[in-house]
């Protein structure tokens, strides 16, 4: 699931933010009544004791969510007007699948393994409609950052602060009350080479990092640009190591707190991925693989991560400042200022396992970095 922080103004003129989450899966929406002469008690006895055992035996069905329509409570619009529905039904069921392909295999499974008539819905469920949909969720964003930051001073380590996003992000963080920002790079005052595990371990010996940091932001790592025909085995291993392996190893070392202890308990790690993970482009096999791998890693690794550490990522489209430097078209680009703002709720909020998009990625044929890296 990917997520995007949406900023705007509510109808009272107040600043507003919410998180728009976009699921990778699909949902079957099935509304039905109970066939006569069955009672609700008889129907539910069959539903829960027979039918759902049969449905859940299908390996491609992830879960079912039921919504029973209230008989005595009527829905009203925000104006207070009661809604007069043209379609009524007893229940709405959600059948959740990992993908459209999984739904297709779900159907194939029952075509091969047909449920016998006495156990099937025939004569029990009167279907009103059955639709397939993709889902999105809107959730309230974490509380405003200056308030939470001021109440709890934070030390933030930024790795890769010299890029277009990193420079703006450092300025934003330094403008927050109670936040101390420390920059790390291969040639900076705090030396760090993410490609060298010993360099990562050396963070514990840096004077300015004594006592640890609360948050780590990583805005670096490179992927090789070009079609699959441009790779050989050595070049493919190199592009995987330079982003996916290096960044996931860094996150593991920081989260575990055994090889390097610089990140405090309950801290956060926020990295930069890219929407190339979800946009098809023949020039991006290396870029897409690295970013898709990072997104999958973050979603899974965030589940019960060690020491209460939170893992998140920001996935920008093509950054406008990068496009300007590369002489590329500016259409559908996103400003570094907008991208940098997406990190703040992830750093200081409570979210974990989230991939927050910034802008919308467009496929392009020209490398946007010198050296053919993303």
For residue 339, what are its two tokens? 């991208």
Nearest of 155, 124, 88 to residue 348 by alpha carbon:
155
CB-based contact 149:176 (threshold 8 Å) = yes
Q: Could you give the CA distance from residue 192 to residue 266 in angstroms, rounded to a whole number?
A: 23
User: Which tokens go with 344?
Assistant: 């703040």
The residues that bridge with 312 in the sheet, in sequence order, are 270, 354
pTM of the model: 0.62
Pairing, β 213-218 against β 190-191: unpaired
Whether the bond into 37 is cis, omega within 30 of 0: yes
Nearest to 356 by CA among 310, 326, 315, 311: 315
Residues 337-347, mean pLDDT to the nearest whole number: 90
| Mean pLDDT confidence for 135-150 | 60
Mean pLDDT of the region 74-103: 87
Section 125-129 average pLDDT? 92
d(CA 213, CA 263): 5
pLDDT of residue 317: 85
Q: Give the whole-angstrom CA distance, residue 342 versus residue 178.
A: 19
The answer on pLDDT for 223 being more than 50 is yes
Give the pair of three-digit tokens for residue 347.
């750093």
Tokens 């993908």 correspond to 99
Q: Which residues pair with 184 in a beta bridge?
A: 159, 190
- The full length of the chain comes to 374
Nearest alpha carbon to residue 220 among 254, 262, 184, 182 = 184
Q: Would you give the end-to-end CA distance of the chain in angstroms?
A: 23
Mean pLDDT of the chain: 87
Closest CA to 127 of 27, 33, 28: 33
pLDDT at 294 over 50: yes
Reported as a single tens digit per residue, the pLDDT across 8-42 is: 777 887 777 787 877 768 999 999 999 999 999 99
pLDDT value at residue 371:
40
Phi, psi at residue 338, to the nearest 5°? -70, -45
Per-residue pLDDT tens digits for 34-63: 999 999 999 999 999 999 999 999 999 999
Report the pLDDT value the prediction gives residue 3, as an integer from 0 to 100: 66
The pLDDT-based confidence of 143 (bands split at 50, 70, 90) is: very low
Q: Give 204's Cβ-side CA count (13 Å radius).
A: 11
Strands 2-9 and 15-34: antiparallel
User: What's the sign of the alpha-carbon dihedral 96, 101, 104, 109?
Assistant: negative
CA separation for the pair 143, 140 (Å, rounded):
9
């Amino acid at each position: 699931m990917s997520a995007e922080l949406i900023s705007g103004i509510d109808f009272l003129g107040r600043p507003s933010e919410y998180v728009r989450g976009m699921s990778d899966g699909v949902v079957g929406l099935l509304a039905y009544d109970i066939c006569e002469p069955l009672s609700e008690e008889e129907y539910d006895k069959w539903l829960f004791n027979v039918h759902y055992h049969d449905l859940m035996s299908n390996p491609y069905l992830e879960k079912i969510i039921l919504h029973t329509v209230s008989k005595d409570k009527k829905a009203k619009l925000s104006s207070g007007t009661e809604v007069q529905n043209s379609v009524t039904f007893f229940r709405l069921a959600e059948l959740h699948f990992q993908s459209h392909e999984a739904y297709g295999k779900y159907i194939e499974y029952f075509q091969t393994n047909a449920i016998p008539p006495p156990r099937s819905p025939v004569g029990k469920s009167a279907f009103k409609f059955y639709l397939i949909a993709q889902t999105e969720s809107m959730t309230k964003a974490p509380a405003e950052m200056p308030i939470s930051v001021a109440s709890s001073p934070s030390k933030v380590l930024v790795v890769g602060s010299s890029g277009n996003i990193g420079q703006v992000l450092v300025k934003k963080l330094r403008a927050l009350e109670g936040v101390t920002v420390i920059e790390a790079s291969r040639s900076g005052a705090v030396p760090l080479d993410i490609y060298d595990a010993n360099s990562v371990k050396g963070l514990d010996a840096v004077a300015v990092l004594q006592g640890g940091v609360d948050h780590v932001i990583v805005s670096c790592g490179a992927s090789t640009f070009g079609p699959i025909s441009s790779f050989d085995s050595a070049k493919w291993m190199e592009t995987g190591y330079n982003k996916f392996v290096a960044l996931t190893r860094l996150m593991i070392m920081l989260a575990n707190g055994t090889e390097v202890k610089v990140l405090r308990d309950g801290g956060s790690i926020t990295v930069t991925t890219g929407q190339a993970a979800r946009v098809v482009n023949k020039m991006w096999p290396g870029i897409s693989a690295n970013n898709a791998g990072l997104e999958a890693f973050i979603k899974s690794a965030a589940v019960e991560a060690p020491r209460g550490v939170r893992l998140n990522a920001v996935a920008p489209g093509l950054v406008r400042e990068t496009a300007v430097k590369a002489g590329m078209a500016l259409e559908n680009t996103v400003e570094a200022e907008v991208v940098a703002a997406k990190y703040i709720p992830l750093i200081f909020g409570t979210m974990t396992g989230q991939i927050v998009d910034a802008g919308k990625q467009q496929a392009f044929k020209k490398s946007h970095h010198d050296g053919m890296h993303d």
